[in-house]
Structure 1
Amino acid sequence: MSDTSENISNQWRKLRERAGMSMDELAREMGYSRASSIQRYENPDEYRKPSISTELAGKLLKALKGRGNPPIEPKDVWALTRLPSSFVSSFDPDSEEVDGAEGDLSYSREHWHPSVDGAVPEVDVKLGAGFGSVGEVINLPVGRETVAGHRVVAEWLIPESYLRNEAKVSPGFTLIMEIVGDSMMPTYLPGDRVIVDLAQNSMLTDTVYAISDGQTEPQIKRLQRVPFSDPPQVRIISDNPALETFTVELERLTIIGRVCGHIARR
């Protein structure tokens, strides 16, 4: 195991112990039902080296912030990631609680306002039909904290009546993301855009979602719940018939949002 991996694991354990929490308690506070969901970050093996994504760091921050002596601060958690040691959130123009933002590092729309009323932002994040990518992360001073978010690369003026009535999304929680890769062909082609509703971040029906495993960059996949599975399992399906379908426990999957619309060159 590399020095970096050992350092991440040691720092994770020190933060948990500083907060006075057991592994089970921390897992529950992070939204997991079992400690095994996070055990690999504190006790990795040579085959599964820890890598702390922004999504995972957001969950850890929610669980630990303010606990311990001295109280755990956002910078203590962000030191585990490749991001700068700062308070990091995403952007939501509908939120007025800027100074009190919790910064859960989900893909949201905090601290951004459109140049054209009603526009939907396209962010510097590409959903992988294969492997995705996260582009530039910008840092903004907010009160005595620093807030970071994905850079807005374009604005799409989509009628709100269409978003609400046809796409069935919450306009204030909607982002546009570009597709890269070919694993969702022929349904989604590289360069296509999709409308992602961040408010629909749990699996209520079998359809297409923007997802992450908490370690790698975001992807677009079709999810199908496995009937009668306990704990609940889900099939991760690529529309490209040449690619394999995977089955995982639902709790190990981060659903960024439901894909509710498709903008394509046809």
Structure 2
Amino acid sequence: MKTNDEIRRQNLLGAIERYRTAAKLAEAVGTSAAYLSQIKNQTPESKTGKPKTMGDDLARRIEQALGEAHGWMDAEHEQLDLATVTSIFPDAVPVVAIDSDADYYYQIPLVKLRLQAGMQGVRTEPEYQSGGKKSVPRDWADREGLNPSRLVAIQVKGESMEPTLYEGDTIVINLADTKLVDNAIYAINYEGEAVVKRISRDAGQWWLMSDNADQRRFHRRACRSGECIVVGRVVRREGSRF
């Protein structure tokens, strides 16, 4: 039977994998990447010579960062190894994880939008609970002609854009593109509220449209100058729904 320290270390490995790097997990939980790596690698304590272990406070903070229940770090979680998976699915090909700090990705801010009515600029606040950063493929951004310094990522809230966008999806916004195009999706400062809507042109007027079929709950709204300010165009979506 594994000890509690061994279980926590195993779950730490899974947590790092979910955040892609120890540095990103460390930022989310408010500790140093070096300290997490010492626990991960069982670095001996200088005084006792015993491997470094994880305390209760850090365990709870990791659970919170992962969105897991209290005590999750102290329980074993069944994981299928590659041999088991390939025995069930002979044609399965393993996914190769590439360090998100490598040359394959740009790192862009994962943020919350902080807007005021009539405010033309964009004020943001880092989304630390989700790591504060988002990796986007360099080849995609370069192919689309996007400037990574003008990209931010936010998480979708609410049901108004289902089935195109679901709550919890991550979308990338190009702050450099504020020109309205019929049927495109934008982040909008609507009277001080950050909304993500499809823009439609009808009878000489721009309208904010929801993709949700329940138009009684999510009816269209006029996009008038001064009360409807374009933050940027949505250029990418990532989510777990398919």
Range into which the TM-score falls when normalised by the shorter chain: 0.3 to 0.5
Q: Under a length normalisation based on structure 2, what TM-score does the superposition of the two structures give?
A: 0.47
Whose helix proportion is higher, 1 or 2?
A: 2
Larger radius of gyration: 2
